[in-house]
Amino acid sequence: MSRLIALINGDEDLGRSVWFWLAAALVVLGFALLPLWESEFGAYNISFYLLNIPLALGLCMLWGYCGVLSFGQVAYFGVAAYVYGIIAGNMIGNNWGPIVASLGGLLACAVVGTVFGYFVFYARVQAWIVPILTLVFTLLLETFLGQTAGYQWRVGIVQLGGYNGMTAIPPFQIGSHMFMGYSFFYYALIVVLACYLGCRMLVNSQRGKTMLAIREDDLRAELLGYDIRRHQLVVFVLAAMLAGVSGLLYVQWGNYITPTQVGLLQAALPVVWVAVGGRERLLAVLISTFALNWFNYKLATQGNQYAPVYMGALLVIVMLFFPRGIIVTVAEFFRGRRWKAT
Amino acid sequence: MDTLGLIASILYQFGTNAAFLLISAIGLIVILGMMRIINLAHGELMMMGAYTATIAFHRGIPFPIAAILSFFVVAVAGAIIERLVVRRFYGRELGALVVTWGISLILGQTTLVIFGPFMQAIAIPAGSFALGQFSFSVYGIALIVIAVLLLVALWWIYTRTTFGLQARATMQNPAMARALGVNTDRIYMLTFALGAGLAGFSGALMAPTVSIAPFMGQQFVAPAFITVVVGGAANVLTGAAGSSLLLSLVKTPIGFLFGAFLGTVALLLAALIIIRLMPNGISAYLQRFADGRVGR
């Protein structure tokens, strides 16, 4: 038990004091009591702000802790979402279909991530090549999914649907209970908390220290006997699966997915969330992802077409003036001391 | 006669594919080779070039002059972007990637808001001619010639002008170049402007072949990025020429047999395999071959 606490409360994330944990408990309690202060429609919206958090945490670990930047996290989001839609759609009527479909979606992410990551990391490419290739992969996936309109593009009874998207995807279900409204919100909350605590334990573990060593100096880490290719590949696959978790939550929330979700504009957003929060701290990314999704959703529902301009400008400003991220910079300011510059 | 036509047709397909790859990537390659920076706003700079050329063309300016005008307009835009933002990111590859992506979001969406989703197209200049039963577009052949001319011009700039000499010195050892009186800041700005201008010029050249829209750049960036990744950053010109020829060798037959989309997928797969074999790109491989020694 004390080892578990030491893992969760290690020094590689923000918030280690008793006061922090009290505040965090209050926030979680506030979310848990959501039905008291928010309508079912409000809960539905808040679920949406939550569901991108696993994807952002994955990118945060990959970029901030491991020094590998990926622009293609939405590709795994899409892979999981489409695979879920295909399997669950074909097993419709079966109470256990959605669980099988979720596992299938995650497995697909892991397989695609492993194959792609093998070629990239075992080639020991230079740092700038990984984001470029992941971006190209995303673009091709979008193009592919976009041209799957028509009856010939179907798997079993499910049509891929081209740019019209895949519709009527079954919600998540355990036994005979379907997760919708408040119960979907609780399901998403638990998944997000589990992902966050899991990531936090990982970065504080031995493997997390190795990740940091590779980020700081890959040659030195390698000379000390660590197989950096394997470590990078493992984190890459993990990040792909976390993106897959977000993809699953998204289709289970909206029952709908289009190729636009895998597009270039969407691909930029996770980078914005992670950069704005501060890529070296998971908690900062969690908060910024929630806040920026809320902001983006408000803009989108108002039909504001400047949303991508704001996101782009935010990214440029943060990279210029807060290279460590806004939330991390603020947290440092209040703590009154700096971590060693990286 | 028909065999001759077939051979000409295959060569033509191969040549236009290689020219397409080279032209869409050349601006990116110039910036990468000099400054180790990937400019993710490349697609949007091409879009700006296409818009400039289209607007100028519909005002009655002949297409070749409109394309050259695009070069200068986008080069100025590139110089501004470099001064305001990019120069703070030298030596931080990943930071530069991210910040140029922010710029690309701003440029793409702003264009959408200002000009709307569509623009009047330009007809493909010149006509076509037939050889046997095969038909060839004059514009396609012009693109091949322009690609070769671009390579020659860049070779001339880099090896025969003072700017080129200073640029190569800056690339090899910026501190020493500065110590010897080279204004490296100015070299970086001019290089970025040159790369941006080439992106604008290539956007203008592509404009007649595609529909002009704010996000039109996206269709060029995937092949352009693959060309750059395969080419590598060791030697700009050999990398660009070698990788566009090699990739065209992959894309032409697969695109011909299975369609354009699978042709592009084949490009990605080829890129994954090529970097597995030559992690620093084809230019490093050729360089090593030319130097006649093994190892780095």
Residue A305 lies in a domain: no
Residues A275, B108: C-beta atoms closer than 8 Å: no
C-alpha gyration radius of chain A = 20
Q: A–B: how many Cβ contacts below 8 A?
A: 121
CA distance A40 to chain B (A): 34
Tell me how far apart the alpha carbons of residues A151 and A141 are, in angstroms, rounded to a whole number. 19
Contact list in B for residue A136 (CB cut-off 8 A) is: 222, 225-226, 268, 271
Enumerate the residues of chain A whose CB falls inside 8 A of the CB of residue B38: 128, 131-132
pLDDT for the residue numbered A156: 81
Whether A233 contacts A114, CB under 8 Å: yes
Query: Is A227 contained in some domain?
Result: yes
| H helix runs in A205-281, sequence order | 206-216, 218-223, 228-254, 264-277
pLDDT higher than threshold 50 for residue A15: yes
In-domain check, residue B282: no
Please tell me which of the candidates B40, B95, B264 has its beta carbon nearest to residue A319.
Answer: B95
User: Can you tell me the distance from the alpha carbon of B148 to that of B128, in angstroms, rounded to the nearest whole number?
Assistant: 21
- For residue A342, the model assigns a pLDDT of 43
B60-70 pLDDT per residue, tens: 899 999 999 99
Helix axes B236-258, B260-277, angle to 10 degrees: 140
A320 neighbourhood in chain B, CB within 8 Å: 85, 88, 99
Q: Do A133 and B102 touch (CB under 8 A)?
A: no
pLDDT of residue A340: 47
Q: Are B213 and B116 spatial neighbours (Cβ–Cβ below 8 Å)?
A: no
The pLDDT of residue B5: 80
- Of B40, B94, B273, which is closest to A127 when you measure between CB atoms? B94
* Prediction ipTM score: 0.85
In a 3-state reduction of DSSP, which class is residue A16?
A: coil
Which residue in this structure is represented by tokens 């210029």?
Answer: A320
| Residue B177 belongs to some domain of the structure | yes
> CA of A9: how far to CAs of A4, A25, A64, A192, A233, in Å?
8, 14, 18, 18, 26
Task: Give me the helices (H) in A91-205, please.
Answer: 97-122, 129-146, 181-204
Q: Is position A275 within any domain?
A: no
Question: Is B93–A135 a contact, with Cβ atoms under 8 angstroms apart?
Answer: no
Nearest by CB: A140 against B40, B108, B264: B264
Out of A131, A136, A272, the one facing B97 most closely (by C-beta) is A131
pLDDT of the residue at B94:
86
Strand partners, A158: A155
Interface with chain A: mutation pick from B82, B97, B280, highest number of A CBs within 10 Å:
B97
Q: Is B106–A125 a contact, with Cβ atoms under 8 angstroms apart?
A: no
Torsion angle, CA of B25/B26/B27/B32, rounded to 10 degrees? 80
Q: Å from B94 to nearest chain A CA?
A: 6
Write out chain A residues lying below 8 Å of B218, CB-based.
139, 264
Q: Residue B288 pLDDT more than 80?
A: no
pLDDT of residue A241: 96
- The total number of structural domains in chain B stands at 1
Structure tokens at B248: 């065209």
CA atoms within 13 A on the CB side of B20: 24
The residues pairing with B288 across neighbouring beta strands, listed in sequence order, are none
Residue A2 has pLDDT above 90, yes or no: no
Pairwise CA distance, residues B82 & B190, whole Å = 9
Sign of CA dihedral A35, A38, A39, A40: negative
Instruction: Flag if A133 and B97 touch (Cβ within 8 Å).
Output: no
**Domain range for A90:** 42-263
Q: Which residue has the higher pLDDT, B128 or B43?
A: B43
Residues of chain B neighbouring A124 (CB-CB closer than 8 A): 279
Q: What is the 3-state secondary structure (H, E, C) of B83-151?
A: HHCHHHHCCCHHHHHHHHHHHHHHHHHHHHHHHCCCCCCCCCCCCEEEECCEEEEHHHHHHHHHHHHHH
Q: How far apart are CA B66 and CA A158, in angstroms?
A: 49
Cβ <8 Å between B89 and A144:
no
Instruction: Specify if A315 maps to a domain.
Output: no
Number of structural domains (chain A) is 1
Residue B280 lies in a domain: no
Percent of chain B beyond pLDDT 90? 32
Beta bridge partners of B135: B130
Domain hosting residue B36, numbered range: 2-215
Of A291, A286, A243, A289, which is closest to residue A14 (Cα–Cα)? A286
In a domain, A234, yes or no: yes
Using pLDDT thresholds of 50, 70 and 90, give the confidence band for residue A341: very low
User: Any bridge partners for residue B129, and if so which?
Assistant: B136
Write down the pLDDT at residue A210: 92
Mean pLDDT, chain A, whole residue set: 89
Indicate which of A133, A134, A136 best probes the interface with B, i.e. most B CBs within 10 Å of its own CB: A136
Residue B102 lies in a domain: yes
| In a domain? residue B194 | yes
Q: Is residue B238 part of a domain?
A: no
pTM of the model: 0.89
pLDDT of A161 reads 83
CB contact under 8 A, A123 and B221: no
Q: Which residues of chain B neighbour A63 with C-beta distances below 8 Å?
A: 94
User: Which one, of B215, B285, B234, lies nearest residue B50 by Cα?
Assistant: B215
Q: Is residue B206 part of a domain?
A: yes
d(CA A251, CA A260): 13
B289 has pLDDT over 80: no
CA–CA separation, A305 and A265 (whole Å): 13
To test the contact with chain A by mutation, choose from B105, B114, B225, B262 the residue with the greatest count of A C-beta atoms within 10 A, namely B105
Q: Collapsing DSSP states into helix, strand and coil, what is residue B294?
A: coil
| Token digits of residue A94 | 């079966």
Which residue shows structure tokens 């703070």?
B88
